[in-house]
Amino acid sequence: MPPSINHTKTFLLLKGEIQDRLDAEMILYNRKVQSFQFPVKQLKYLLIGKPQYGANEAGIERTSNQQTRYIRITDIDTQGLLKNELGVTAENTDEKYLLKNNDLLFARSGSVGRCYLHKSTNVTYPCIYAGYMIRFVLNENELTPDYFFIYTQLNVYKRWVNAIQRTAVQANINAEEYKSLFVPIPPLPIQQQIVDIFEAAYTNQQTKQAQAQQLLNSIDTYLLQQLSINPPPTTTQTQKMFMVQANTISNNRFDPYFHQAMFDALEKELALSSYKVTKLKHIATKITSGATPLSGGDAYTTKDLGIPFIRSGEINQFNDINFYDVLYIKPEVHNGSLKSSKLKKGDLMIAIVGATIGQVGIYNYDIEANINQAIALVRFNNEVDTEYIKSFYLASIGQKILDRMKRPVARANINLDEIGSMYVILPPLEKQREIAQHINQLRQQAQQLNTQAQQALQQAKQTIEAMITGTN
């Protein structure tokens, strides 16, 4: 090609390289796999029998592990593991859809490309699978299921998914397209070596994540001990009939959920603390929320020109905000219609609407930012340590207080008056700082363990991919 041609965007291909797909990305991927360290075969030559689409059943409530589980795409996490929950069952559990040990399921739409390897030793109850998944059974004399599952966790496989998936309203990959996947086939001992590397890293990840969770769980015990309280246990059973005094009804809350006995018991326990008990509105200098400009409207702009617009899903206990993922609004919107919800460093943020309701974080950045209507901004006076308040509401006692405020409607929500009416135990400022500092140290240790766990697994994946592709 002439030197004037951009070689990063233009390339030549042989007629024999064109098979079922004319996509440039697919052709480049298939060209790359031919240079792998090991021979490659298309998946269709490594199967026992034809791929099988799942059952077309509606999910219904599953109440015990004795019932057959109906596995859907949403039951598989991003690591290809079955979520540890009851899930759902189905009215008809046809035996032809029962999963056997080492069966592989692939998502054909939605989380397209996601793979699940069924292990009967880990999942001891019967399972069938839904129609948006496809079952593949491998010839284990050539390709071990554990090795192939690991291959689907690598970036090289994800590049194939991006190349093969059909762009539509909902991306999809059908059985025939999965069968066209070229798979590197190392000798069986090398496949086992790869499995050993991955499993060692995964076990290390699980250990570190468990240690991190233990540290986070210890925060609750520590806080309750420091505040000298013992809140009543949470119960999933609610009284169907009970009476309340008219003079106890506040915040216009006439719903039975708010007046459950367990919430009244919690208030009584708070009063037993040796420290001051007050409401947020008595220690806050500001309680407000933002608004959301019309989607696609001219209120939004680019990162370089705009002001970060924080939404409730971006709040977390570590006070981390990924500014590459947030939306940006124009400065005139920030200083105009949304001027009352400008964030300042140290402001408390509470998610008050939707799936993340009850999440609490602090805006710990010097740059200007704003919030949407799903976040309550709470700013305090100098007698309050915001990190302590955050820790209080993230603990079980604070979450129960927030839970009480949730309105039991289709989309749970808490209004600003209810945020202001929430109780908090308020020790002297020095004690607040002592508690907050200790809890932050525990969180940092937990975050470090989680980071180490993730990095170790990613390093293992990179090592495996280099073994397969011959690249560093």
Give the integer Cα–Cα distance in Å for 283 and 382: 9
pLDDT of 286 reads 97
Q: What Cα–Cα distance (Å) separates residue 323 from each residue in 292, 307, 309?
A: 18, 10, 9
Nearest to 402 by CA among 390, 385, 388, 384: 390
At 399, the amino acid letter reads Q
| Tens-binned pLDDT, residue by residue, of the chain (472 aa) | 556 555 545 545 555 545 555 566 677 777 777 788 899 999 999 999 999 999 999 999 999 999 999 999 999 999 999 999 999 999 999 999 999 999 999 999 888 999 999 999 999 999 999 999 999 999 999 999 999 999 999 999 999 998 887 655 567 899 999 999 999 999 999 999 999 999 999 999 999 999 999 999 999 999 999 998 887 666 555 555 555 565 565 666 667 777 777 888 888 889 889 999 999 999 999 999 999 887 667 899 999 999 999 999 899 888 888 888 899 999 999 999 999 999 999 999 999 998 889 999 999 999 999 999 999 999 998 889 999 999 999 999 999 999 998 877 767 899 999 999 999 999 999 999 999 999 999 999 999 999 999 999 999 999 999 999 887 6
* Cβ atoms within 10 Å of 162's Cβ, excluding its own: 14
pLDDT of 241 reads 54
Nearest to 195 by CA among 144, 141, 123: 144
Nearest to 419 by CA among 397, 401, 436: 401
Nearest to 176 by CA among 145, 136, 225, 233: 136
Coil, helix or strand at residue 110? coil
pLDDT of 17 reads 47
The position carrying tokens 């506040």 is 250
DSSP state at residue 9: T
Give the integer Cα–Cα distance in Å for 170 and 18: 26
The position carrying tokens 């037993």 is 272
Give the integer Cα–Cα distance in Å for 399 and 359: 9
The strand ranges marked E within 91-202 are 104-107, 115-117, 127-129, 133-136, 182-184
229 close to 273: Cβ distance less than 8 angstroms: yes
At 419, the amino acid letter reads I
Q: How many residues does the chain have?
A: 472
* Cβ atoms within 10 Å of 422's Cβ, excluding its own: 20
Give the integer Cα–Cα distance in Å for 303 and 16: 45
Give the integer Cα–Cα distance in Å for 191 and 467: 10
The position carrying tokens 């996601």 is 114
- The pTM score is 0.76
pLDDT of 472 reads 63
Taking only Cα atoms into account, the Rg of the chain, rounded to an integer number of angstroms, comes to 27
Residue 342 bridge partners (DSSP): 370
Nearest to 294 by CA among 261, 268, 330, 320: 330
Give the integer Cα–Cα distance in Å for 219 and 450: 16
pLDDT of 39 reads 94
